[in-house]
Structure 1
Amino acid sequence: MRAPTRRYAYVADGSAIYVDSFATIRREARLDGVPADAEKLAVRMIHGSGQTDLVDDLVIHPGVVAAARSALMLGAPVLADARMVATGITAGRLPAGNEVCCFLTDPRVAALASAWGTTRTAAAVSLWEPLLAGAVVAIGNAPTALFHLLEMLVDGAPRPAAIVGCPVGFIGAAESKQALASFGADHGIDIPFVTVHGRRGGSAMASSAVNALAQEEE
């Protein structure tokens, strides 16, 4: 095999791209309103979305970084709503060989979704329950999954250590994230979280957040 003839001027060194990307984010994004221990979290979420104005819509619970990092160091699993979220989490950043779980393809899911009149992604969240206590949750795809999780918690399900709630879309995404942001005030259940107001979100954003929470090093 041979490399194609270089016809465009672009940076091709992976390390330089990595360093320059984060430098560009810090130069262009307004990070002064972000909690000090959450700056790298915000930067990685911006990196995962390519949008420096994302910082204006971020909602970061003051305890989310410490809670998620401590849980992961103690071996807590990461519970993901979609395979794309799970795949985007860098195993090498997880401090304790943490298991990353997604139950969307579990054979029980289709029947549960049909019986409950909901999406498969939401039904799969109920299969998290045995693992939910002290876990780190990462939702980047389905608003129904986030709504379902919050309903489980109100009903008395075990509480995770932290929730990354960044579902994307036009139907229910903004509303589900607003429900997460006001969950503590509405129900008296204070679970550390990070979310982003509005329709923006997605698997890359959610997995980027977990990668930032997993360790301090950028």
Structure 2
Amino acid sequence: MGKSQKAETMFMGASTKQGYNIASKSREIVRSLIADKIEGLSEDEKSIIERIVHSTADPEYASITKISDNFISESINAIKDEKDILTDINMVKAGINKYEGQIKCYISNEETIKLAKEEQITRAAAAIRIAHDNGFDGIIVIGNAPTALFEAINLVKNEGMEVRSIVGVPVGFVGAAESKEVLKGTEIPNIVTEGPKGGTPVAVAVTNSLIRLKNG
């Protein structure tokens, strides 16, 4: 298999000939399912959405994924500068790979647990505050907790939190859709999945796509 073909399928994590063959076929299927929905998007936008659909086996993501104009460029620049990536839960952190900077998650931090109890807020929201208190500067990736997304938006707008972009794809029926609509209305470079859908696989797919795009 040639170098260009390997690059074409590498986004699916293939590392053997059999893996490349499966990845190539899978990509063909994904593209055939969503071609009409991503027509007119940039190649970078298409690659991110294709990876989401492949990771979830759900073509609807091609319709509900919305990317702000400056999200990809700002995110890639942050990755090039090796800015921190902050995740809402450890499962998202574990799925991100081949990043040369630091990936952080404060959900189990003692300060987070203490703050959550004192303020009677979720640990996910408290974790974002703790990250801000520790001088966070980079990309926030939220796949599960709407409260973390609301908190991040609040801190950016009112406390000057240094956020280069937000992957805002929390999942669920309570607050998820609303938090993403609020994010879309800000000037923060962002990607969201409209409605209740989202989750760890989507958050990881977007972030790994960005890392791959940075690496060419």
Deviation at 1:131, TM superposition (A): 4.0
CA distance in 2: counterparts of 1:151 and 1:21, whole angstroms: 40
Query: Alpha-carbon deviations, 1:76-114, whole Å to 9, x = none?
Result: 111000111101112x2x2xx111101111011122111
More helix by share: 2
Identity among equivalent positions (%) equals 28
TM-score scaled to structure 1, two decimals?
0.85
Structure 2 alignment gaps of length 5 or more: 1-16
How many angstroms apart in 1 are the aligned matches of 2:135 and 2:22? Answer: 37
**Residues 128 and 152, structure 2, Cα contact 8 Å, conserved in 1:** yes
CA contact (8 A) 1:159 1:191 kept: no
Counterpart of 1:196 in structure 2 is 193
Contact 2:156-2:163 at 8 Å conserved across structures: no
Aligned partner of 1:80 in structure 2 is 87
Aligned residue in 2 for 1:3: none
**Is the alpha carbon distance of 1:119 and 1:56 closer, same or farther for their aligned partners in structure 2, counting shifts above 3 Å?**
same
Q: What's the counterpart of residue 73 of structure 2?
A: 66
Question: What is aligned with 1:186?
Answer: none
RMSD between aligned alpha carbons?
Answer: 1.7
Report the counterpart of residue 136 of structure 2 in structure 1.
132
Over residues 23-51 of structure 1, what are the superposed CA-to-partner deviations in whole Å (9 max), with x where a residue is unaligned? 21111112114344311111112222211
TM-score for the superposition, normalised by structure 2: 0.85
- 1:16 maps to what in 2? 21
Distance 1:87 1:53 in 2: 25
Which residue number corresponds to residue 185 of structure 2?
182
1:53: how far off?
Answer: 1.7
Q: Which structure is larger by alpha-carbon Rg, 1 or 2?
A: 1
May I ask how many residue pairs the two structures share in their alignment?
196
**Following the alignment from structure 1 to structure 2, what is the Cα–Cα distance between the partners of residues 86 and 14?**
24
- Deviation of the 1:72 alpha carbon: 0.5
Q: Superposed, which structure 2 residues align to 1:147-166 within 5 Å? A: 147-166=150-169
Q: Given the alignment of the two structures, is residue 171 of structure 1 paired with residue 174 of structure 2, yes or no?
A: yes
| 1:54 alignment partner AA | Y
Question: Residue 3 of structure 2 corresponds to which residue in structure 1?
Answer: none
Q: Using the alignment, how far apart are the partners of 2:118 and 2:71 within structure 1?
A: 35
